Amino acid sequence: MQLIDPNHPAYRRVWVRALIVGLCLGWAALEFITGDPFWGVLSAGAGVYAFYMLFWTFKPQTPAEPAEAPKPEETDPE
C-alpha cells in the first residue's frame, strides 16, 4: 500500500520534500524530548517513510510537453 504518491506534482520541488521529512522528524524529536516515546516512534516512522518515498525512490518526471499542432499543408499558390 502506497501512502505517498511521489509522482504527484506537489512533490516536484526539493524544498517541499525536505520540509515534509524535516517536520516529521522534528516532531519526533519534540515528542522524545517531552517524554512521550510512543508518539515519537510514530512520528519518526512517518519521517523515515516520507524520506524513503520522497528521496530514496523518487524518480522525477518531466512535465509532459504539449503536442505540436499539425502544420497546414503547404499549397502552391500557382
Nearest Cα neighbor of 14 from 69, 54, 67, 63 is: 54
Task: Please state, in angstroms and as integers, the Cα–Cα distance from residue 66 to each residue in 28, 70, 73, following that order.
Answer: 43, 12, 21
Q: In the chain, which residues have pLDDT < 50?
A: none
Q: State residue 6's pLDDT score.
A: 84
pTM score, whole prediction = 0.72
> Which pLDDT belongs to residue 31?
97
User: Which pLDDT score is estimated for 4?
Assistant: 85
Give the start-to-end residue ranges of the domains of the chain: 13-56
Q: What pLDDT is recorded for position 74?
A: 65
Can you give the pLDDT at residue 70? 61
Amino acid 76: pLDDT: 62
Q: What pLDDT does residue 10 have?
A: 87
**Tell me, what DSSP letter sits at residue 25?**
H
